[in-house]
Amino acid sequence: PGIVRMRGQVGSPSLTPIVAAAVGLSSFSCLPVREVGVTTNALGEFSFDSTPPGRYLLRVRRLGYQQVRETFQLRPDCGVVATALLVQHKMVLDDCGLTYQERRVPWWKR
């Protein structure tokens, strides 16, 4: 009793679904605060089943977009349907590389 379902959709301002966005849900009711997460499907949809009532922080992230954060109260008598619109972030991703240096360890120090 008192367990509800939270669901929602993530899209761009043009209402195009955003696939593989990370959606995190953190409860302020339990300490330490732990975040559970899901990713959006091909339609930009996500859901959290069996969510107990309480105060939550919803965080939506996707590379290349600005993060969205919102707090809300989840009541036992109703579910939540959330819509998050992510705006593209003007960040530049540079090429990444990996370099390493081999160090020989003398046999007497092994």
Three-state secondary structure along the chain?
Answer: CCCEEEEEEEECCCCCECCCCEEEEEECCCCCCCEEEEECCCCCEEEEEEECCEEEEEEEECCCECCEEEEEEECCCCCEEEEEECCECCCCCCCCCCCCCCCCCCHHHC
One digit per residue, the tens of pLDDT, for the chain of length 110 reads 567 788 999 999 999 999 999 999 998 876 667 789 999 999 999 999 888 888 899 999 999 899 999 998 888 877 788 899 999 987 666 666 666 666 777 777 66
